[in-house]
Structure 1
Amino acid sequence: MNANLINVLGYTGNNKQFVVKTLNTDLRVSENSKYPELEGPNPYEYLLAGFAGCINALGQSIAKEQGIVLRSLQIEITGDLTALSAEAKEAKPGFSSIEIKLKPATTVSREVLEKWMNEVQLRSPAYNMLVNNIPVSLVLNKDYLYN
């Protein structure tokens, strides 16, 4: 397998819980609105959580490269799903906007932090994917057999 490829496998069964298998763990995804008895984040929360995780890992790494000591880093991401509402029928599905607030605890100046934040944005695969229309192919395999 190509070392640059990241792969996850998702499946659902009769219990209506969607499970995603990753290299190190299983993630349970809930629709929350249809099945409130099923616990777990919904798919949109997972997208934002993954985005936050990517920013955190990259932010920590770039801070070390730039000699910035981060005591902590809080990342708050808010996505507006207005585009999915009934009154937005002509809009594209998904988030209409995403706001990311970075709250680093450090002693460096605002100017240094702005340089750090710009580098995180520049090098973030998640940011690049959301902003630059990365090609996605959807492939259907009809003859899937469940074991």
Structure 2
Amino acid sequence: MSTEKSQTRNQTLTFAVAAAAESPTETRVSVRDFEFVVDEPESLGGANAGPNPVEYVLGALAGCLNVTAHVVAREMDLDVRDLEIAIEGDLNPATFMGKREDGRAGYQEIRVAVTADVDADADAETIDAWLAAVEARCPVSDNLRNATPLALSFDRRE
């Protein structure tokens, strides 16, 4: 076993972003050398300057599934080409909008459809094992499937 893999196995990585409100709906987010805008569509009171937060969640899931799918395929010696991921999520905004106190503010269900060209000699059992490993090992799907502690704090500006 290589030292790099052994270090990765026991190492916790910390990821961080910084964000600043540009308006009540628009947020500018900085991460590493990148910057992106989060906003609401005009129909929800925003300026439509970028995807909204819950759309970014779906996009993050798609990106993470893509990376994980290729990592697992390489480990399984499975050739995966032309991978496409389509994701839909159902969300009732009533809790977010303060119109009800019961129910979830977030997605009630997320559906993921994966389409790809895989090895012709890969049987259904191999593809099922690949997909199960992808779902189990994808960090974003893990965060969506399981409760993750969230520590929210506040600092008053003087």
SS of 1:73 mapped into structure 2: strand
Give the aligned partner of residue 34 of structure 1: 45
TM-score by length of 2: 0.80
What CA distance in whole angstroms lies between the structure 1 residues aligned with 2:124 and 2:23? 52
One of 101, 113, 117 as aligned partner of 2:131: 117
Deviations 1:71-110 (A, max 9, x none): 111111111013x247x83212111111111112113222
* From 25, 33, 45, the counterpart of 2:55: 45
Instruction: Measure, in 2, the Cα distance between the counterparts of 1:101 and 1:14.
Output: 35
Which residue of the partner structure matches residue 24 of structure 1? 33
Structure 1: state its 5+ residue gaps.
Answer: none
Task: Report the identity percentage.
Answer: 25
The answer to whether residue 74 in structure 2 is matched with residue 64 in structure 1 is yes
Deviation at 1:38, TM superposition (A): 3.3
Q: How far is the alpha carbon of 1:14 from its aligned partner?
A: 4.9
| 1:127 alignment partner in structure 2 | 141
Q: How many residues align?
A: 140
CA contact (8 A) 2:80 2:117 kept: yes
SS at structure 1 position matched to 2:80: coil
The 1:121–1:15 alpha-carbon spacing in structure 2 relative to 1, beyond 3 Å, is closer
The 3-state SS of whatever aligns with 1:71 is: strand
Aligned equivalents of 2:49, 2:128: Cα separation in 1: 38
For residues 134 and 10 of structure 1, the distance between their equivalents in structure 2, rounded to whole angstroms, comes to 21
Any stretches of 5+ residues in structure 2 without a counterpart?
1-10
Deviations 1:11-70 (A, max 9, x none): 1135853111011311111111212x4321111110110011111001111101101111
Question: Is residue 12 from structure 1 mapped to residue 21 from structure 2 by the alignment?
Answer: yes
Matches within 5 A, 1:93-104: 93-104=105-116
Partner-residue secondary structure (3-state), 1:39: coil
| Runs of 4 or more consecutive aligned structure 1 residues displaced over 6 Å after TM superposition | none
